Chain A
Amino acid sequence: MIGWTSKAAGLLAGLGVLAMAGLITFDVLMRYFLDRPQLFVDELASFLQVFVVFAGLAYTFRAGGHVRVDLVTSSLPRPVRAWLRAVTLALGLAFLAAVIWVTAQSGLSAYGYGRVSAVMLYPLWIPMLLIPAGLLLMAVAMLAAFVRQVRLSLGPLEGRDEAPPPDRRA
């Protein structure tokens, strides 16, 4: 379920990249050949960029794409490494919770003040709330990883190690 949602969000983010490429190309062609720059493109592309970054977070997490340092942990005994990963995942969750709360607050206050964008006048709370939404999806994926890691750490001795990312690419 989490895997499916993350992949779907990741795919949508990919389509977002395609849309950015198309929009900006359109803007350049209109400006260069017809001398009609499309001002809305800059705004929409920035909006899409927020979407690409944050919709892709959970997928990236499940693919093991967020860079970590394994120089130290790789030389630890396996059970120690297993528990250490549970600790770092818990720490990460607590941190994400705080950031989700803060960014949701700024999105909601933008809604309260009725803030709109400069050119298209679309309400700013929509892209602003994409940030906590994407982080929330990543937090859910992280929570699942945490549960899996604790189970593994309590499980049979020979299996105690750091759980690999569920969607690690080949």
Chain B
Amino acid sequence: MSEPVIGALLIALMFVLFAMGLEIAVSLGVVGVLGLLWLKGWTVGLGVVGSVAWSNATSFSFIAVPLFVFMSAILLHSGIGRGLFTAVARWVGFLPGGLAVASVFSCAIFAAVSGSSVATAATIGMIAIPEMERRGYGRPLICGSLAAGGTLGILIPPSIPMIIYGVMTETSVGHLYMAGIVPGVILSLMFAVAIVLYAVARPEAAPRRSEDRGSLRDKVRSVVEVAPVAVLIVVVLGGMYVGVVTPTEAAALGSTVSLVLAALARGLTWRALNRAFQETVRTTSMVVLIIIFASIFSHVMALIGAPSALFATVVGLGLPRWALFTLIFAFLLLIAYALEELSVMIIILPILFPLVTGLGFDPVWFGVIMVVWLEIGFITPPVGLNLFVIQGLMPGLSGRQITLGTTPFVVLMILLVVLLFLVPDLALWLPRQMLVK
């Protein structure tokens, strides 16, 4: 049987196993091992499984994944960062839709210490949602601003998906982090402007009150309230920017400092620590198991020559760059509808990355694009991770309210992708300024 036929059969089998509801990691493993047996025989084929599992599980760079998850979880469960919303609200509360703007901005600030979209939405949402509900804000607006604001957690560094992308494609995680900052700030501003315009057009969705104008004394006090988060931002991002620490080391320092801050704020209970452990272990085991079996699968795809065949096919289309990029991005949006996005990224990167870089796109730039795509996926039904968080915090939220609330933000995210395509330097300028290359 020829190799393209084997490849097609294996990919078909993979989708069948996914559809049957077999765990994604195991599905990839089954397909990968069958492919290895087919191509390499019993002894050599199975030997690969052991060495791939070992090399992925011991990768020092991947250690940043549990450490950043742990740090985000400690911040979430110990309550550090919850003061952020109140503090920011004192500064921007006077704007139309001020509390929704404050939600987005406090998510953006918290994103600079959190690598997780879910932890960001949950930390800020826990305070912002009850406050906005009390004030009679429209439910779609509340849902949209926090779901979308939360996704800034993975675009503004640190970022767990960026670590995975960086290690899998051998792209500098430090450069990816710096590349996320400017697009993250632009996206936050786009969100804020959209909210203000919406609140001007529909004042009943964001009732205003005189208490929104914080006094100067309140504003000064708010600076003290955000101090713990500011310290963490300096430790985590500052160290990496000047090149003193690697992302993994920044994650370890950040975790340690978070623990200390949580203890000082008397938020470090056994319950908080235990929940942080559980979340960290669940995420790490799940993600690394998928990575291990996905790399066996992609090893098989490489043996068959799938990436080069795909490249030849795509180049053979003879389309201009923008059309190719639109095609790839549309494909990504489509596939994200059925599968959990982070798994999709891990599965297709080994095939997609050589294609995209082969077409002349920058690896760091494409990493940012992948993250914005993940953000879109996280707030799109049926499997939007952030939507589950918001639903947990807003009982009775209807599917219609979710769609109404999130669609404008999805449009803005797609707009950001277009901007990044037209002006790649929005992402690539800052990494060039790093002190250590």
- Residues on A lying within 8 angstroms of B by beta carbon are 10-11, 13-15, 17-18, 20-25, 27-28, 32, 42, 45-47, 49-50, 52-57, 59-60, 63, 65-73, 81, 84-85, 87-88, 91-92, 95-96, 98-99, 102-103, 105-106, 127-128, 131, 162, 169
Contacts and interface: CB of A to CB of B under 8 A. Distances in A.
Interface string B335-362: 0001110010000000000000000000
Contacts of B62: 49
Interface in B32-62: 33, 46-47, 49-51, 53-54, 57-60, 62
A21 B282 contact: no
Contacts of B276: 14
Nearest to B258: A21
A53 B57 contact: yes
Interface string B12-45: 0000011111111110011001000000000000
A20 B50 contact: no
Contacts of A70: 21
A98 B34 CA distance: 11
A15 B270 CA distance: 12
A169 B388 CA distance: 13
- The prevalent SS among residues of B at the interface is helix
Given A17-B66, A71-B382, A103-B50, A66 B24 contact: yes
Contacts of A25: 252-253, 255-256
Contacts of B343: 67
B67 A17 contact: yes
B53 A131 contact: yes
A45 B33 CA distance: 29
Given A17-B67, A53-B288, A69 B19 contact: yes
B284 interface: yes
21 contacts: A10-B277, A14-B276, A14-B277, A17-B67, A20-B63, A21-B70, A24-B249, A24-B252, A32-B244, A42-B60, A49-B66, A55-B281, A59-B278, A63-B278, A66-B23, A67-B286, A68-B24, A69-B21, A72-B20, A85-B21, A88-B22
B145 interface: no
Contacts of A22: 252, 256
A84 B22 CA distance: 9
A86 B221 CA distance: 59
A20 B252 contact: yes
Which of B62, B256, B383 has the most A CB atoms < 10 Å from its CB? B256
Residue among A13, A20, A56 with the highest chain B CB neighbour number at 10 A: A56
Contacts of B255: 17, 21, 25
A92 B286 contact: no
A59 B54 contact: no
A15 B18 contact: no
A24 B248 contact: yes
Contacts of B251: 21, 24
B326 interface: no
Nearest to A124: B54
A69 B24 contact: yes
Contact of B286 (A66, A102, A105): A66
